[in-house]
Structure 1
Amino acid sequence: MQGDYFESEEYANQMNHFVTLLHVYELNKMTKEEMKEEITVSEEEIEEHRMRYGTLGDQISSINMQYEQQIQEAVDSGNKAVEEALKKERDAKVADITENFNSDEYVRSKVIKEKEKSIDEFFLDLAEYRHEFLNLEQAYKYYLKDRNTDTVFTNLNLGKNDSVSDFMNNKEMYYVQDYTALQNMISYTGIIENFMPYNEVAEEILQKQNLDFTGQIGLSKQASDKHFAISNYKDYQKRQMLFIGYLISSIGALIVSYFLAKRKPATVFGSFEHLKPLYGRIPLDVRTVMLLLTGVILLLSMTLISEQFVYYHSDLFSSLIELVISLIAAASMLAFGFIQLKFLSEYRNDWPKLKEDLNDSLIVKSYYAILDAFIVKSIGFQLLVILGIAFAMGVLFVAVLVAGGGPIIVIAFAFGVISLPIFILIMRKAGYLNKVMKHTEELASGNLGADIPVKGKSAIAKHASNINTLRKTVTVSHKEQAKSERLKTELITNVSHDLRTPLTSIITYTELLKTPDLAPEDRDSYIEILDRKSKRLKVLIDDLFEATKMASGNIELHKEKVDLNQLLQQALAEHNEALSQSTLQMRVSQPDQAVYAFVDGQKLWRVFDNLIGNILKYALENTRVYISVKEEQSQVVLTFKNITKYELGEDLNELFERFKRGDQSRHTEGSGLGLAIAKSIVDLHEGSLDIEVDGDLFKVTVILEKLN
Structure 2
Amino acid sequence: MDIKLKNKKSILICFVVSVYLIAIASIACIDVLNNKYYLKKEAYINSEFFKKEVINYFENVQILIRSDKSDLNKKKQEDLESVKLKKVINNNKAFSYYIKNQNTGKVYTNISGLSNLNKYIEDKALYNLNLSKIEDNRFNFIRTEVERNNFTGNIIVLKKGETSTQLYRDYDYYNSIKSKLIKEIIIGIMSFGIGIFLILYLLKYKRDELKFIEKTRERYNKVPVELRIILLFIFLKIMSDYQRRIYLFDMPIKIERFIKLSFVALYIFYLLICGLNFINNKNNGTKIFKNSIVYKMKEDIRESFKIKSTIRKVTLVYITTISIGFVFIIGMAMFKYNKLIFLLIMTYIGIYAYIVPRYIFKKTAMVNKIVKGTEEMVAGNLDYTIDENDKGLLGKLAHNINNMKKGFKKSVENQVKSERLKSELITNVSHDLKTPLTSIINYVDLLKSEDLSKEDMNVYIQILDKKSKRLKVLIEDLFEASKISSGSIELNIEKVDISEILRQALGEFHEKIESSSLNFKVNMEKDGIYANLDGKKTWRVFENLIGNILKYSMKNSRVYIDLETEGNKAMVTMKNISAYEMDFNTEEIFERFKRGDKARKSDGSGLGLAIAKSIVELQGGNMDIVIDGDLFKVIIEFSLLDK
Q: Identify the TM-score tier after normalising by the shorter chain.
A: 0.3 to 0.5
Larger radius of gyration: 2
Higher relative contact order (CA 8 A, sep 6+): 2
TM-score, normalised on structure 1? Answer: 0.44
